[in-house]
A and B are shown apart, each in its own frame.
Chain A
Amino acid sequence: MAAIITKLPGLRTGLVWTATHRPAYQRTGNPLNLYVNLRDRLLHTTSTQQTWTPRREPTHFLKYNKKVYPPTPHGETERPAFICHQKANIKYSPDKMWYVACLVRGMKIDEAIAQLKFVNKKGAVAVQETLEEARELAVQEHCVEFPSNLWVSESFVGKGIVFRGYRRHARKRFGKVEYKHCHYFVTLEEGEPPEHYYWHRRPLTPQEMLEEWLESQRRRIIPGTL
């Protein structure tokens, strides 16, 4: 087909151009060229320079929002609605953000936002914004009726892009400066939060304490006995 069209004088130059710029089309025999073939097909070759560099954002976490669960059988407890949301590339250290992320875990949404207002850290602003966005999205898109009936079931931090800079030291030495960015991830779940978010850290009841003590007594090994 291409050979026939190239005989037309007007189209000749255009097709020669494509033939020289996309040679990967013909190289289908070698399996090693498969990647090259795919890459050249997906990339549009019209302009090499883009106005904006593509944003590097984590994509996996938001895919949980697209998962469709099978219908709950009649009589069983319904699965609570949840929403995953993220804020990518916040100009803040992930190490510092960890403290803010830990603070809101297991809180009701209104309580979490109220608490964050009193956290005197830069990261708290980003976290608060993310929570408010997530709450809005939950009502609009994820079948949640009451925005207050949500709690923070997951809240964690990811490491974002790090730009490296330099700092002069004495005697012609230099040190590395890292301009860190972080991602913040949050999951809001419908309903009431559990009494103890960290189950293993819950205060034990007297009965449980007794059982634990008995178990430890039974398990001990007394040397030199029968």
Chain B
Amino acid sequence: MAASRVPVICRFSQFSVKPVCAASSCHILEPRTSYICNDPNHKYFGTSTGLSGKHYNPKFKRDRKLKFIKIDYPNLNDNKDVDDMTQDEIRAKMKERGIQPVRPWQEKPLFISSTSDTFEAYVPPEGDGKISVTTAAGAKQKLELLGKKGKSMMAIRELRQFEENFEANEFAEEAQQTYIDTHEALIKLDEDRLHQLVTERAYPGVVHEVKYKTLRWQFVKSLEPPRVVQVRCTNMITKENVFAQVTVRFHTQQILAVYDRFGRLQYGSEVVARDVLEYVVFEKHVANTYGTWRIHDKIIPDWLPPRSAIHRTYRKEKEEEQQEEEESAEPKSSEELQKPATEQTAAATN
């Protein structure tokens, strides 16, 4: 009986066995301050020194604060980018510093050394014009080609007023050299050379996604001699200001491999040569004495089969996905209107 009355004091108060009755022998074993730590509502704030960085006596807190001499140093973290700021914010900031607003930039860069479009773009015949003339489609194609050929002859006559020695066959060879030079300049990303070989209109398309990549390109051979398929002349603003556009057909064998920034193969192969059939538009400002023949456009027909897949996969950007969703949702909406409301909500959640 006596053994059960002896309290076992544990480090944790909830585990300590307390005596059943408050007998006289109990309070001798228990510490005098036990009522404090046993009280669940007791709060104890010790004098904190050192680590917390706060003075233990908050009485003169305000006076201590006044000891610091305030300096106005700029906030380097907020409004990092001017582009993200609203007009009002920029205005407020400029007012604060007493600066006059800047005059807006009203100049618009305009290139008059090249046109902005391909005139009467050549439409390559499907199946490379190998359809039999006896079929209806074949006969129609042949007639169309004949009509276009007549127009080209007229254009060549106009072109010869400026360039007396223009010969289609000789030009095709010259164009092929320009074509090869352009690719070689593109591999080196020699911008100055590219501007000599490519018009201002084609330049963004040529250098698109080329930066920070390694290109390995080789011109193996020409499977067929290059051929001029279409010539067009157009005047801009005045009659004498003539631009000439010549479409040349290249049937060649090339090697192309594209590596990303880390030297990993993204597209193509350095070993396999592939046959390439291309229709390239060359342009010259013939009215200009110093005009040169430059690459202006590449004709991509509608019937072109899709390209082979790239080696590495990548994630589509979110904006494109959203647009696609919107587009796909639009035709659905008319059908959904006829459905009952419950089905509509189910479609939306899906």
Report if A69 contacts B (CB, 8 A).
yes
A49 — nearest CB in chain B belongs to which residue? B99
Among A55, A70, A81, A165, point to the contact of B214 (Cβ < 8 A). A70
C-alpha gap A49/B97 in the complex (Å)? 9
Cβ–Cβ contact B94 & A51, under 8 A: yes
Contacts of A143 in B (CB 8 A): 260-262, 264, 266, 312, 314
| Contact residues in B for A181 (Cβ distance below 8 Å) | 76
- In the bound complex, residues from chain A placing their C-beta under 8 Å from that of B266 are 143
Contact B263 A166 (CB under 8 A): no
A51:B313 contact, CB within 8 angstroms: no
Q: How far is the CB of A75 from chain B (nearest CB, A)?
A: 12
- Our pick among B73, B75, B90, B263 for the contact of A78 (Cβ within 8 Å) is B263
| B216 engages A91 (CB within 8 Å) | no
Closest Cβ–Cβ distance, residue B214 to chain A (whole Å): 6
CB–CB B69/A66 < 8 A: no
The reply on A68 being an interface residue by CB < 8 A is yes
Nearest-Cβ distance from residue B79 to partner chain A, whole angstroms:
9
Interface range for B = 35 or more
Contact A145 B69 (CB under 8 A): no
> Digit string of A55-84 for contact with B (CB within 8 Å is 1, else 0)?
100000000001111111000001111100
Given the known inter-chain contacts A68-B213, A145-B315, please indicate yes or no for A89 contacting B76, CB distance below 8 A.
yes
Q: Please give, as numbers and ranges, the residues of chain A lying within 8 Å of B257 by CB-CB distance.
A: 71
Q: Do residues A55 and B76 form an inter-chain contact, with CB atoms below 8 A? A: yes
- Minimum Cβ distance to chain A for residue B48 (Å): 17
Contact A140 B317 (CB under 8 A): yes
A: number of interface residues (CB 8 Å) = 39
Rounded to whole angstroms, the CA-CA distance of A143 and B261 in the bound complex is: 8
Contacts of A51 in B (CB 8 A): 90, 93-94, 97, 99
Determine whether the beta carbon of B76 is less than 8 Å from that of A79: no
Given A143-B264, A145-B315: A167 touches B259 (CB 8 Å cut-off) = no
A and B contact pairs by CB, cutoff 8 A, 17 listed: A51-B99, A52-B93, A68-B212, A68-B213, A68-B214, A69-B263, A81-B260, A88-B76, A89-B77, A90-B77, A143-B266, A143-B312, A161-B76, A163-B73, A164-B71, A166-B68, A168-B68
Residue positions of B touching A, CB distance < 8 A: 67-71, 73-77, 80, 82, 90, 93-94, 97, 99, 212-214, 216, 257, 259-266, 312-315, 317
